[in-house]
Amino acid sequence: MRRLLLFVVASLFAALPSSFAAQVEKWGRFEYSCEASVKGNPFDVKFSAVFSNGTEKTEVRGFYDGDGVFRVRFMPRFEGEWTFVTRSNVPALRGRKGSFTCIPASEGNHGPVGVMEGNVHGFSYADGRVFHPLGTTAYSWMHQSTARQEETLASLEAARFNKVRMCVFPKNYPLCREIPDLLPFEKKGDGFDFSRPVPEYFRHIESLLDRMDTLGIQADLILFHPYDKGVWGFDSMPQEANLAYLDYFQARVASFRNVWWSLANEYDYCKAKSLEDWRELIARVGDNDPYGHLCSIHGSTAKYYPVWEGGLTHASIQDEAPVEDFGRAATVRNIYPMPVVFDEVCYEGNLPSRWGRLSGEEMLHRIWQGLIAGTYVTHGECYQYEEGDFDDIFWAKGGLWRGESWKRIGFTLDILSGLKRPLELADTSRDHQTATDGEGNYYVYFGEKMPGVWDFNLPAKCAGYARLQPGTKFRVEVIDTWGMTVSAVAGVFETGEVEDYRLFDKSRQKIRLPKTPYILLRITAL
């Protein structure tokens, strides 16, 4: 509530004298609005503002919000006094000045998420706090009824997902054929005028982004997709219209700290766009974003975009093979000098399609296979109530959960929250079950295997950290990732001498494991 109030204050008092200057918290959102009557298409007006704190200057694109109102939004990243002055090709919008004070971030405001400093494969908030993305998929939830949207938000909160993949444009798909009440562009004959966005459509998206932020959820916004199928033509707009849409939409939401940019879902199925078009769109997204939000592009199954070309911050991959067995995901991670997110690894559900019929156990197992390998895996649920009835599939439309893996997400996040750094394999070439988050901490995942008894042993190598030494004492906890229990193992374990690159307990102690799958050992130095 406090963050919302600060935003409102900034909107109301932006242009008042300094004695009445607005206050906006760090990584909050300042907004300045003004009115002007213009000839022609108001969406063609160039409007921006230059923000300065004395040492840093940032120019931010503004936008037309209907009814003669122009707005510009800014996310301050430094505390202190800020001033701004507007720029425009319309005299009435030019040279307007104002100021505000950036105050410290409130509790729970950690800033936007980015690639972790000093760890190219990890994520962190702007304040340095580690971020472990554990997201789900709800492609068209924003385009459903108000009741369905409220159900979705309640479901997300209950499950504690911290990221959602979601489409800006509506979908026309066998699993989602509803025509939304609002569409992104004005109607023109039998089609649309792509030069005239509908502000109300985008205001609605903004309201949901703010709701998600209050729940601690990152919005992974899919900017384009190929699922229009000729109904609206949003998937085949001319490139000029694509660029103009990015300019407008990003001007509206780039200042929201919880947004990620995903250029496309299954970009290679977007037949109206060439690889060169995608390169231009990626560059434009970067040019429009002064805050450097995370940015990716997603391909069809095992279609890997050439991310080394630049402009992208992390890999968003559709491929279940890397997380079906130990070690495969680590190989992908070793190739990419950036975080790797397997955003599609098939989904929990009961669909006849092979991609939508994982068990809940298998869904969670794939998540852990990715985590242990130093990557991240996105969840999705595809249950139909009755054969042929797709109206309530969460993956498509949000709503209520029907599966089982979502119940384990909060427990998984609790485990991850205890990590000092992102996980990675301790010995990536020779041990595909033992991960570490730093010296003295190990996580051994057995997955579907149930060894019954395990000889305490750890690799001598500990990723890029100091090698494990003999005489190190550890405590061990048994974590049932499916059953959501944590049990301490009695006694203390102490490493002996190195034997073929591994260290066993000096007394050759063994640990008896539960006769259930999906067991994780947390091993912590004393």
SS3 annotation, 379-422: CCEECCCCCCCCCCCHHHHCCCCCCCHHHHHHHHHHHHHCCCCC
- Categorise residue 21: left if φ over 0, alpha if ψ from -120 to 50, beta otherwise: beta
Within 13 Å and on the Cβ side, how many CA atoms surround 234?
24
Is the pLDDT score of 14 beyond 50? no
**pTM to 2 decimals?**
0.94
- Name the residue among 305, 345, 348, 308 with its Cα closest to residue 325: 345
Beta-carbon contacts of 268 under 8 Å, excluding residues fewer than 6 positions away, are 299, 300, 303
pLDDT at 384: 85
Q: In whole angstroms, give the CA distance from residue 388 to residue 407.
A: 26
Q: In whole angstroms, give the CA distance from residue 321 to residue 332.
A: 11
Is the pLDDT score of 230 beyond 90? no
pLDDT at 392: 80
The widest CA-to-CA distance across the chain, in whole angstroms, is 85
Q: Give the mean pLDDT of 464-485.
A: 98
CATH class of segment(s) 113-402:
alpha beta
Beta-carbon contacts of 429 under 8 Å, excluding residues fewer than 6 positions away, are none
Is the pLDDT score of 474 beyond 50? yes
Is the pLDDT score of 353 beyond 70? yes
Could you tell me how many residues make up the chain? 526
**260 DSSP β-pair partners:** 220
**Could you check whether 2-103 and 113-402 share the same CATH topology?**
no
**Low-confidence winner among 184-193, 205-214, 377-386 (lowest mean pLDDT):** 377-386
Instruction: Specify the DSSP element, H or E, that contains 200.
Output: helix 199-214
Is the pLDDT score of 174 beyond 80? no
pLDDT at 12: 40
Written as one letter, the residue type at 41 is N
- Would you place residue 391 in the very low, low, confident or very high pLDDT band (cuts 50, 70, 90)? low
For domain 425-525, give the fold: Immunoglobulin-like (2.60.40)
**Residue 164 CA from chain centroid, whole number:** 6
Which CATH architecture group holds 2-103? Sandwich (2.60)
Torsion angle in degrees (nearest 10) through CA of 35, 211, 8, 109: -120
- Bridge pairing between strands 424-427 and 431-438: antiparallel
Is the pLDDT score of 15 beyond 80? no
Within 13 Å and on the Cβ side, how many CA atoms surround 304?
16
- The predicted-structure confidence for 250-265, as pLDDT tens digits, reads as follows 999 999 999 999 999 9
Is the pLDDT score of 351 beyond 50? yes
- Categorise residue 228: left if φ over 0, alpha if ψ from -120 to 50, beta otherwise: alpha
Instruction: Specify the DSSP element, H or E, that contains 329.
Output: helix 328-335
Is the pLDDT score of 496 beyond 50? yes
Instruction: Specify the DSSP element, H or E, that contains 331.
Output: helix 328-335
pLDDT at 385: 75
The first and second tokens of residue 9, run together, are: 């204050």
DSSP string, 358-369: B-HHHHHHHHHH
Torsion angle in degrees (nearest 10) through CA of 420, 421, 422, 428: -100
Q: Give the mean pLDDT of 372-382.
A: 98
- Would you place residue 17 in the very low, low, confident or very high pLDDT band (cuts 50, 70, 90)? very low
Is the pLDDT score of 23 beyond 50? yes
Q: Is 97 helix (H, G, I), strand (E, B) or coil?
A: strand
pLDDT at 449: 87
Look over the chain and give the mean of its residue pLDDT values, rounded to a whole number: 94
pLDDT at 346: 97
Q: Is 257 helix (H, G, I), strand (E, B) or coil?
A: coil
- The predicted-structure confidence for 41-55, as pLDDT tens digits, reads as follows 999 999 999 999 999
Q: Are 332 and 322 in contact (CB under 8 A)?
A: yes
- Residue 256 per-residue DSSP state: -
Alpha helices in 215-321 (DSSP H): 239-253, 275-287
Is the pLDDT score of 20 beyond 60? no
Alpha carbon separation from 305 to 266, 302, 312, 336, 477 (Å, rounded): 10, 10, 10, 11, 40
Q: Is 490 helix (H, G, I), strand (E, B) or coil?
A: coil
- Bridge pairing between strands 259-264 and 295-296: parallel
- Residue 141 per-residue DSSP state: G
Beta-carbon contacts of 178 under 8 Å, excluding residues fewer than 6 positions away, are 143, 144, 397
DSSP string, 30-76: EEEEEE---SS-GGG--EEEEEE-SS-EEEEE-EE-STTEEEEEE--
Torsion sign across C-alpha atoms 71, 77, 78, 79? positive
Kindly list the domain boundaries of the chain, sorted by start residue: 2-103, 113-402, 425-525
- List the beta strands (DSSP E) in 198-331: 218-224, 259-264, 295-296, 315-318
Alpha carbon separation from 188 to 196, 197, 236 (Å, rounded): 10, 12, 16
